Amino acid sequence: MRTNSDSQSFLPLTEATFFILLSLFSGPKHGYAIMKEVAQISDGRITFGTGTLYGALKRLLNQGWIARNGEDKDNSDKSDRNRKDYILTALGKEILTSEIARMRNLVQLSVSIDPKEV
């Protein structure tokens, strides 16, 4: 089993990866929903083209940070055949939680510094 210190070896995350994982924290989403939510929660700073998003999702799948939702189900319902929902894995949640803790620590450190002194 991984420990919190193991997940820290993946940090810092790129901003795009952080927002993808964050968008999946609330539950399963398909690619288009991830794309839209990331644009919204990043205030439009992160916008993915289709190829970029699916490349990132493929990388996260290969790393085991996300998984396809219901991959092991019998896919006899043909209407859902082409729609792929993604979910965070336990490892993905651990890495996201570690990154949030890392960023909180940075913010706490920076609050004590007067910007005029920098």
- Cα 55–9–89 angle (5° rounding)? 55
Q: Does residue 77 register a pLDDT over 90? A: no
Distance (Å, rounded) from C-alpha 36 to C-alpha 108?
30
Q: Name the strand (E) or helix (H) holding 39.
A: helix 31-41
pTM of this prediction?
0.83
**pLDDT (tens digit per residue) in 45-57:** 999 999 999 999 9
Q: Does residue 24 register a pLDDT over 90? A: yes
Q: Does residue 98 register a pLDDT over 70? A: yes
Domain total of the chain: 1
**pLDDT for residue 82:** 61
Strand order in the sheet with 85-88: 29-30, 85-88, 66-68
User: CATH number of the domain that 26 lies in?
Assistant: 1.10.10.10
CB atoms within 10 A of CB 45: 11
Distance (Å, rounded) from C-alpha 79 to C-alpha 77?
6
In a domain, 94, yes or no: yes
- Which domain covers residue 95, as residue numbers? 4-71+81-117
